[in-house]
Amino acid sequence: MPDVMVGSVPAYLAVPSGSAGPAASGGPWPGVVVLHEAFGLNADIRGHADRLAALGYLALAPDLCGGQYWVRCMRSTFRQLRAGSGPAFDAIDASRGWLAERADCTSRKPATMTRLAVLARLGYSQQAAEDAWQRIFAFFGEYLR
């Protein structure tokens, strides 16, 4: 299991294997930080990172929960989102920097990804909400009527 430490944060690193497909070039590869959902860094998230690596990306998944129980982690994460800073923000920034410094990374990542709320697009947009409702209604109309 290629687990690594990014500062004090445990993370899972998936590296392209050099087998068939886009990963065969041997690098350097673009880096991707994989963010987990509420249940933390689990087998599903590791699988997503492995899938990205199979497509030719260095995929680093930091454990933003730090091994905490998921309910405690979510409470902490939402407090950080409201504050606009905190350990999760620091871990994401550290992960980006850690990947960019690797010799096998192209160091290509957007430079302005410093806010988790922006990454997650947690702000409300009336236009986006209406578009989402229309898609839901269209789906329901096609498959549930």
pLDDT tens profile 23-33: 446 789 988 89
pLDDT value of residue 129: 76
**pLDDT exceeds 50 at position 114:** no
**pLDDT exceeds 70 at position 122:** no
Which candidate, 34, 30, 53, places its Cα nearest to that of 45? Answer: 34
Which candidate, 87, 86, 27, places its Cα nearest to that of 62? Answer: 87
Whether 12 and 6 have beta carbons less than 8 Å apart is answered as no
Rounded Cα distance between 115 and 110, Å, is: 12
pLDDT value of residue 25: 61
Count the Cβ atoms, other than its own, within 10 Å of residue 91.
Answer: 23
The residue assigned the tokens 């997650």 is 120
Range name among 20-34, 40-54, 76-90 with the lowest pLDDT average: 20-34
Using a pLDDT cut of 70, give the percent of the chain over it. 79
**pLDDT exceeds 60 at position 4:** yes
**Side chain identity at residue 43, one-letter code:** A
Residues 6+ positions from 30 with CB-CB distance below 8 Å:
56, 57, 58, 105, 106, 108, 109
